[in-house]
Amino acid sequence: MPGIVIVGTQWGDEGKGKVTDLLAERADVVVRFQGGNNAGHTIVRDGDQFKLHLIPSGILYAGKKCVIGNGVVINPRVLIGEIEDLRRRRIDVGGLRISANAHLVMPYHVLLDEESERKLGKLEIGTTRRGIGPCYADKAARLGVRVQDLLDAKILRKKVMTALLPKQQALRPFARDPSLDLHAITEDCLRYGHRIEPYIADTARLCWEALDSGRTVIFEGAQATMLDLDHGTYPFVTSSNPVAGAACVGAGVGPTDINEVWGVAKAYSTRVGAGPFPTELDDDIGTYLQERGGEIGTTTGRRRRCGWLDLVALRYAARLNRLSALAITKLDVLAGLDPIRVAVRYRSREGAVLDEFPYHQTILHGATAEYEDLPGFDADIGACRSEAELPREARDYLDLIRDRTGAEIRLVGVGPRRDQVIWTGRRAEPRLRAA
Ligand code: IMP
């Protein structure tokens, strides 16, 4: 006790890194359980900015165990780059542990991702082109290469050869590309294996030992609920399960190891890549949110699509993840907008009222959002440290979210800095203090 899962409730980029960073201070272990370097967390610490794609945000606390769980797909080149960068900046990475069972993103996965997007043309998903989908596909097809394989040259070669054959056929025009060269791939992998060997561990056991001795373990999700392979806006989703339930599979713990589920939602909505986005704003307000919120992707540098908060989707995410706490981030970005609009229901192409998030793709694609308008606020709220200090309009906005989602808001972000947060709710301090 306790196990705490942190997940995104929208389309990603909600600020999970900041929330994890805050909760991690009092935790003993932080575990990533899915996704790969398609994710990107930006953490600002003492004026320094850190961009992490694979290593859990907790690494900035010396000695904290930071686990890359079995459910993550790891590009070893990127991982080594991150380790080196942190070391250069004098961050102690001694607490890093990498699951021996995690799958590896290989060069041919990246090539396949790029090619599959190119072939889709206008129908592209808008992936991050980091090879994530093809890697998870190989995992399911039992053609994956895992971290533990890096330590055995014979097995590694055999596995890469088996996985490579179908790719060489599918990617014939790239026959000479080093991404398809067995020798080059295995040599690189062996070098990577040598570098990361000290960090490879039985990470599920590490989590059990921490949980069984009463220490706090945080399971840090990447991407978000609406990008979930099963529950998101398929096929415009990622290839893993970012919902809370997946923390068990991706880290190797049981459902009763989880005591709290924190959902993170931005005070408005953003999405990168293609796919339905009912509250999207193609106007000046969308641009205002994009610019004020600095809505540029950490991983790909793409401009994020912006829109109003979507309570239909948020309610769906709250139930799907069975949230016990909600963190609202970037409330400050809404300052200066009047009215503030909130989507409370959808209307289908045929005119039907949709109070619940539609499970059918065709209905969702034709749905338009219907709004309630709330008065806006002008004040800079960046210095507020309690809910009572917020302008009344901002408090009303939070109350509406509470009211319509049934979730308990425990944290509100009022600026990019670590200290620019308000702890709210019945227990104004996180329960973690006891940890
Ligand atoms: P993939 O995960 O690279 O396959 O991309 C699939 C979809 O998920 C695309 O729409 C991406 O833009 C989106 N996506 C993947 N990772 C993130 C993330 O960390 N934040 C936001 N969107 C993401």
Q: How far is the CA of 130 from the centre of ligand 1 (A)?
A: 9
DSSP letter assigned to residue 43: E
State residue 433's pLDDT score. Answer: 41
The dihedral formed by the CA atoms of 201, 206, 208 and 209, expressed in degrees to the nearest 10: 140
Give, for ligand 1, the residue of 127, 264, 280, 298 to mutate: max count of ligand atoms closer than 8 Å to Cβ: 127
9 sits in the region (left: phi over 0; alpha: psi -120 to 50; else beta) called alpha
**Sequence-distant (≥ 6) Cβ neighbours of residue 306 within 8 angstroms:** 268, 269, 270, 280, 281, 286, 287, 289, 290, 293, 295
Q: Could you list the pLDDT tens digit for every one of the 435 residues in the chain?
A: 599 999 999 999 999 988 998 999 989 999 999 999 999 887 777 778 888 999 998 898 987 999 999 999 999 999 999 999 999 999 999 999 999 999 999 999 999 999 999 999 999 999 999 999 999 999 999 999 999 999 999 999 999 999 999 999 988 888 888 889 999 999 999 999 999 999 999 999 999 999 999 999 999 999 999 999 999 999 999 999 999 999 999 999 999 999 999 999 999 999 999 999 999 999 999 999 999 999 998 778 889 999 999 999 999 999 999 999 999 999 999 999 999 999 999 999 999 999 999 999 999 999 999 999 999 999 999 999 999 999 999 999 999 999 999 999 999 999 998 899 999 976 545 444 433
Atom number of ligand 1 nearest to Cα 38: 16
Compute the chain's Rg from CA coordinates. 22
**Sequence-distant (≥ 6) Cβ neighbours of residue 334 within 8 angstroms:** 267, 268, 340, 376, 377, 394, 397
Q: Catalytic residues, which ones?
A: 13, 41
Atom number of ligand 1 nearest to Cα 272: 12
DSSP letter assigned to residue 280: B
Atom number of ligand 1 nearest to Cα 240: 2
Instruction: Report residue 22: phi and psi, to 5°.
Output: -65, -45
Q: How far is the CA of 31 from the centre of ligand 1 (A)?
A: 20
H-run or E-run covering 365: helix 361-366
State residue 427's pLDDT score. Answer: 53
State residue 375's pLDDT score. Answer: 97
State residue 44's pLDDT score. Answer: 74
Least Cα distance to 324 among 212, 215, 426 occurs for 426
Atom number of ligand 1 nearest to Cα 128: 3
Q: How far is the CA of 296 from the centre of ligand 1 (A)?
A: 13
Q: Whose CA is nearest to atom 5 of ligand 1?
A: 127
Distance CA 364, CA 417 (A): 36
Ligand 1 pocket: which residues have CB below 6 Å? 12-13, 38-40, 125-128, 130, 132-133, 222-223, 227, 236, 238-239, 272-273
Q: Whose CA is nearest to atom 10 of ligand 1?
A: 273
State residue 435's pLDDT score. Answer: 35
Give, for ligand 1, the residue of 6, 236, 238 to mutate: max count of ligand atoms closer than 8 Å to Cβ: 238
Q: How far is the CA of 383 from the centre of ligand 1 (A)?
A: 33
Whole-prediction pTM:
0.95
Least Cα distance to 65 among 259, 241, 219 occurs for 219
Distance CA 261, CA 250 (A): 15
Assess contact for 273 and 21: CB atoms under 8 A: no
State residue 46's pLDDT score. Answer: 78
Cα 345 to the chain's mean position, in Å?
A: 26
**Sequence-distant (≥ 6) Cβ neighbours of residue 104 within 8 angstroms:** 73, 74, 75, 76, 135, 144, 145, 146, 147, 149, 150, 189
Q: How far is the CA of 297 from the centre of ligand 1 (A)?
A: 10
The HSE-up count of residue 327 (CA atoms within 13 Å, CB side) is 30
Distance CA 366, CA 117 (A): 24
Atom number of ligand 1 nearest to Cα 129: 3
The dihedral formed by the CA atoms of 105, 3, 431 and 240, expressed in degrees to the nearest 10: 40
State residue 432's pLDDT score. Answer: 45
Distance CA 287, CA 304 (A): 10
Give, for ligand 1, the residue of 42, 75, 226, 227 to mutate: max count of ligand atoms closer than 8 Å to Cβ: 227
